[in-house]
Every structure is written in structure tokens, then in C-alpha cells.
Amino acid sequence: MENLTENNEEIKEVNRKLFHRYLSFFLAVFLIVSSFWLGLWWGKAHIKPQNEVFKISETNVENKLPLEKKELDFSLFWKTWELLKEKHVDKGALDAQKLVYGAIKGMLQATGDPYSNFFDPEESKSFSEDLEGSFEGIGAELGIKEKILTVIAPLDESPAQKAGLRAGDKIIKIGDQPTTDMNIYGAVDLIRGEKGTEVLLTIFREGEEDTKEISIIRETIEVKSVKLEIEEDNIALLRINKFGERTAQEFDAEMNEIIKKETKG
């Protein structure tokens, strides 16, 4: 009986140490997420709403700061801007703010890094939904592999899984939009949509000769960031799928569950 009590105390001590170690980690994650939200709040307070159109013909550009490196000729950018302003066939409909967003996105795209991206206000909203763990879409994790938009894994019981989408499927088109040179956030923006609506993906699957179309009906997706599994020999396996607003809360709940079950480790 004493040995059993000692073993339980040892297990609890190990769990406490594990909890404190992960708690320190999540505090760091919390600071990062808090910084993001602070920046998002500032942006909402100081940036005009996206649906407010700044006609390029009526917009004066500020912050034309002189460049430190004179060998970089930035005049081509402003020349293009002025040409759009003066000669574009539908210059009255051009939104200057969207042109600025597009220029920034193009600059980041030129780095060749698919994970360096700029979020406009609408994309920031989508990113916030990711952090909250709830959104309307198909429920599939995407990535860029060999410069091709690829399904990393469909979520369990998701519309993507039910429709037959598999890990490793290469997405060639989203609707009528080719995915060539498309980054992750652009793809996610096209795939997500209102619950009950359809999205058509053209995919290529290794081992098959032709592409195929998969129609998926969007649903509300709830993603748990922490998952607990009890393995053989009463060993607890705690998986952290992603970091979001509820990750720390879910982690605490699962840690309490581990302690209640008195697992070996």
C-alpha cells in the first residue's frame, strides 16, 4: 500500500513538473498572441475600413520618404502609380488602399518564401478565426510542397474527409482559379465560405493519371488545439495540434484529466 502511495506521489510530481514546463511555454505563446491582438486593435483604430474605397484619382500619397540606398531606383513604382491614376481604363473604380495592399503582398511574394505574408483587414479577420478555433470551411490542413498547394491532412469527420480528400492530394484549381504561385492564405481565403455553400477543388493524386474534381459543402469547423489519448500501459499522449486562443485552457483541462486517471506518465 505504501509503494502504491509513493508511486502515485511520484506520478503527480512528474505531472506537476510537466505542467509547469508547459505553462512557461504557453505564457510565451500568450505574450506573442497578445502582441498580435494589440497590433490588430491598433490597426482597427488607425486604419480605414477595407470597404471604404479610396479612389486613386482623389488620393494623395504620403510618407514618400527618401531612400537610404541611392542605388535602388524606386521611381518605377511611382511612375506606375501615376500611370494608373491618369490612364487606367477604369481609374475611377481603382481603390488606392487595395493597390497598396497588393504592392506589399507582391513584395513579400518576391522573397520566394510561401510563409512570409501580409494580412489585409479581411485576412486578419480570417486569421483571428483560426486562433479562435472556429470557422466555416472544409476542414483541411494545407501546405506548400515543392511549390504546389498540397493537402497535409483532412480533419477527422470534416467535410473534406467525407468528400474523399486525402493527405498528399495536390490542389490544382479552386473553382476556376488556378493555384499556381498561390500562397496558403490566398488559398484558404478562396476555400472558406458560408456554411452550406459548395467549393469545387481540382486535385491530382499520386498514382492516378488524370486530375479529378471533388465537390465539398462547407460547414462550421470546430478545431480542438489539444487532444488527449491514453496509450497502452496507461501512458498519456497529449497532442498539441496548433496554438490558438483556447490552447492554454484546453491544455489545463487535459492535464487535469491525466491527473485524475493517474496514468503512468
**What pTM does this model have?**
0.50
Any alpha helices (H) in 47-146, and if so which ranges?
Answer: 75-87, 96-109, 121-132
- At 24, the pLDDT band (50, 70, 90 cuts) reads low
* 53 alpha-carbon distance from chain centroid: 27
- Residue 149 or 265, more confident: 149
CATH number for the domain formed by residue range(s) 134-222: 2.30.42.10
Q: Are 124 and 40 in contact (CB under 8 A)?
A: yes
> Of 190, 195, 187, nearest to 218 (Cα)?
195
Write out pLDDT tens, residues 30-81. 556 555 555 555 555 554 554 555 555 555 555 555 555 556 677 888 888 8
Alpha-carbon torsion, ordered 124, 129, 131, 135, to 10 deg: -150
Give me the residue spans of the domains in the chain: 134-222
